[in-house]
Amino acid sequence: MKRSILKAIFSVVLACIFPLGLLTHAAGLPKMYKETYYEELSNMHTRIKETKNRKIVIIGGSNVAFGIDVTQLEKDLPGYTVCPFGLYAAVGTSAMLSLSEKYINEGDIVVLAIEPSSDTFSSYFGANAFLKCAESDKSLLTDLSQKQKEAVVGSYYDYLCERLAIKKSGIFPKAEGVYSASSFDENCNMTFLRAGNNMALGFDSGALVDFSKVKVEKALADQINEYIKNAAKKGANVYISFSPVNREAVVGDDSGIELFYDEISSKLDAKIISNPNNYIYDSCWFYDNNFHLNTDGAKIRSHQLSCDILAELGIYKEPDFTEPSQPASIYVQKETEETSLSAFYFEEYKGGYLITGLTDEGLKAESLVIPESISGKPVISFDKEMLTGAAVVELTIPSSLEYIPDEAYKNAGALARLVIKGTGEAPSLGDHPFDGNDELKIYVPREAYGLYRDGAGCVENKWQNYLERIVTY
C-alpha cells in the first residue's frame, strides 16, 4: 500500500514537469542501455528526422531490424534513402507510428511490415520497453501521443526502481553479440554477421504463427488510417507489405493466410503491394526466432520488397540480384551429461522431443532432471500435465528446453524448486506458467540472471512478472 501511494504521488509530480522530470530524476544513475540493442531506436528516429531527400520508411517490429538490408534496397531503389523503423515489438506498433508521423514528407514511401500477431496489430504501448530505448535520447518522448506520454509517466516509477535494483545488483544489461548497439552501422543497417539458423529445430516451437487468429484492433486501425490520410496530404504514400515468417512455424493451411489478408485489407486503407506467401521462407533463412532473418535471408527479403515497391511505381524490370546459397545451420548441440530416461514418457515433435508424462518411477521421485537430448535430438518442451500427481520437489530443466507451457506447474503442489541450467537464453513462457504454485522458487545461473530481468533485446519478456521468485546460483 505504501509503495502504491508513493508511486501515485511520484507520477502526479512527474506529470507536471514532463519531460524535464524524466531528464532530472535519472541523472544520478549510470547509463545502463546505451551499449545495448535498445539504443538503436534513437538512431533510427534520428535518421528519419534528418533525411531531407525522398525516403522509404519501413515500419514494424524487430523483423525490420533483422530483415532489412539497407544497402540492398538502396541499390535496387536509387534516389531514395531507406530508413528501417522497427526494433522491438514490445514497444508497440502504435508508438512507431507516433514517432515517425510528423517526419513523413512529400515523395516519401512508408511501408508497413508488421509481424502477424494480434499484439502487434493492437494499440498496445510498452512504456517500460520504450523508456529503455529512450534512456539516452529523451527527444523521443516529445513525439509520442498524449496517451502514450501519460503511460510513460505512469510507468516511470517502476522503471526507476528497476534501474536502482540493477545498480544495486551489479549485474548490468549485457551488450554483446547481435543484441548490442554495435550490431548496426551509421545507416541503421544490421551488420552483425548472422551466418545461418541458430535454433535447435530451425524454428521457435514456443512461438508458432497462426495467421487465422490475427485480428486488427480498431484503435490501431483508426491510428493507421489517420496516418495514411495525413501522409497523403503531404504527398507521401503508405503501403502494406509483410513480415517474413518461418515456414516451419506456421500453423494451419493457406486458408489462414487468406483470412489474415482479408482482415488487413478490410480494416486498413493502405494499398497492399505484396503477396504474403512471398514472405514465408524456409527455416534456413532465419536466425534466432520465427521473424528474424539471418544475413542472407535479409538480402532475399529486401530484394523481394524492392521488387514490390518498383512494381507499384510502374517499374517492372527486376533489378539485378544474385540469390545467396542456402546457409547451413549454425546451431551447436551442447555436450551434456547422460540423464536417465526411465522416469519419462516422451514422443518426437518436429525434429526434437516432447516430454509427455512421468512413469511410475518418475511420479515417485522427489528430484527429476529432464534430459537435454534423446537419441541426439533436443528436448524442447513438456506437456503441461506432465507433473500431475507427481511427488517431485526439485525439477531441473536443460538448456535445450525452449518453452514452458501455460499452467505447467499448477498440479505440482510439492514442487518447491525449479532449476534452469541454460545460460544462453531464457525459455519462452506461456501466459500463466506458474499459476497454482505460489511458493515455487526458480533458480537460474548468476551469469544468466540478466536474461530473465532484461529479456533478449527485442522479445517480450514475460519473466519480468516472476523476478521475485528468481534466485541465482
Report pLDDT digits (tens) over 343-373. Answer: 999 999 878 899 999 999 999 999 999 998 8
- In this structure, is residue 175 part of a structural domain? yes
Domain that holds residue 409: 344-472
> Could you tell me if 386 and 301 lie in one domain?
no
CATH number, residue 203: 3.40.50.1110
> Could you tell me if 241 and 284 lie in one domain?
yes
State percent of the chain over pLDDT 90.
Answer: 64
> Could you tell me if 126 and 237 lie in one domain?
yes
Work out the pLDDT band at 456, boundaries 50, 70, 90.
low
Tally the domains of the chain.
2
Strand 470-472 versus strand 428-429 pairing type: unpaired
Q: Is the predicted pLDDT of residue 259 greater than 60, yes or no? A: yes
> Could you tell me if 197 and 296 lie in one domain?
yes
Determine phi and psi for 461, rounding to 5 degrees: -105, 90
Mean pLDDT computed over every residue of the chain:
89
Higher pLDDT pick, 196 / 7:
196
DSSP code at position 35: T
Looking at beta carbons, which pairs linking 157-164 to residues 24 or more positions away fall under 8 Å? 157/6, 157/7, 157/10, 157/11, 157/14, 158/7, 158/128, 159/127, 159/128, 159/131, 159/132, 160/25, 160/26, 162/128, 163/26, 163/29, 163/32, 164/29
Work out the pLDDT band at 200, boundaries 50, 70, 90.
confident
pTM of the model: 0.83
> Could you tell me if 304 and 400 lie in one domain?
no
- In this structure, is residue 69 part of a structural domain? yes
The helix (run of H) or strand (run of E) holding residue 264 is helix 254-267
> Could you tell me if 234 and 355 lie in one domain?
no
> Could you tell me if 305 and 437 lie in one domain?
no
Q: What is the pLDDT of residue 23?
A: 47
Closest by CA position to 445, among listed 171, 179, 162: 171
14-23, 190-199, 208-217, 333-342: least confident range: 14-23
Report pLDDT digits (tens) over 386-423. Answer: 988 899 999 999 888 888 988 888 777 789 999 998 87
> Could you tell me if 364 and 291 lie in one domain?
no
The span from the CA of 102 to the CA of 231, in Å, is: 9
- In this structure, is residue 182 part of a structural domain? yes
Closest by CA position to 243, among listed 257, 232, 230: 257
> Could you tell me if 201 and 248 lie in one domain?
yes
Q: Point out the domain boundary residue: 296, 312, 328.
A: 312
- In this structure, is residue 8 part of a structural domain? no
Q: Point out the domain boundary residue: 312, 333, 362.
A: 312
Q: What is the pLDDT of residue 320?
A: 92
User: Could you count the other beta carbons within 10 Å of the beta carbon of residue 389?
Assistant: 12
CATH number, residue 375: 3.40.50.12480
DSSP string of 39-76?
GHHHHHHHHHHH--S-EEEEE-SHHHHHH--HHHHHHH
Q: Is the predicted pLDDT of residue 22 greater than 80, yes or no? A: no
- In this structure, is residue 68 part of a structural domain? yes
> Could you tell me if 36 and 121 lie in one domain?
yes
- In this structure, is residue 332 part of a structural domain? no
Report pLDDT digits (tens) over 53-98. Answer: 999 999 999 999 999 999 999 999 999 999 999 998 889 999 999 9
Determine phi and psi for 188, rounding to 5 degrees: 65, 25
Q: What is the pLDDT of residue 1?
A: 52
Report pLDDT digits (tens) over 308-351. Answer: 999 999 998 889 999 999 999 998 766 555 567 999 999 998 78
57-61, 170-174, 302-306, 317-321: least confident range: 170-174
Q: Is the predicted pLDDT of residue 450 greater than 90, yes or no? A: no
> Could you tell me if 91 and 210 lie in one domain?
yes
- In this structure, is residue 183 part of a structural domain? yes
Q: What is the pLDDT of residue 336?
A: 52
Q: Point out the domain boundary residue: 293, 312, 331.
A: 312
Q: Is the predicted pLDDT of residue 2 greater than 50, yes or no? A: yes
- In this structure, is residue 162 part of a structural domain? no
> Could you tell me if 249 and 121 lie in one domain?
yes
**Highest mean pLDDT, choosing among 165-179, 220-234, 436-450:** 220-234
